[in-house]
Amino acid sequence: MKHQIVHTLQKYVLNPPIKLALAIRLPLPGYALLETKGRKTGKLRRTPVGDGRIGNQFWLVAEHGMKAGYVRNIERDPHVRLMLREGLSCSCWQPPLLSLRIRLPTHDPVLPTSG
C-alpha cells in the first residue's frame, strides 16, 4: 500500500515538474536525468534521480529496489545516459559512464533473541 501511494505521488505530482525543468536545462541542485531504454517497448525513458556523481562513477539509490522500472530497464540494457548539472547550467547528455552503481535498500532480518 505504501509503495503504491509513494509511486503515484512521484509519477504524477513530483516527477513531472522536475523532469520538465531538467528537459529545458534548468539546473536543479541534487538532481540528474537518467535515460534508459524500456525493457518491453524499447522506447527511451527519462527519470529524474538524485545526483549521485562521485568522480567518474554515478551512484543510484533505488528507493523501491527491483520494483523501480528504471532498475529493471538497466538490468535488461545497462547502456544509459545522464544529464548532469555542471555549475550553474545543465550539461549535454553524457555518454555511457565508465561505471554505474545501483544500491538497493537492504532490510536486515530481525534475529531472534535467545534467552
Per-residue pLDDT of the chain (115 residues; tens, 9 = 90+): 777 888 888 889 988 998 888 888 887 888 888 888 999 999 999 999 988 888 777 788 887 888 888 889 988 888 888 888 776 555 566 655 545 666 655 554 444 444 4
| Residue 35 CA from chain centroid, whole number | 9
Neighbours of 62 (CB within 10 A): 17
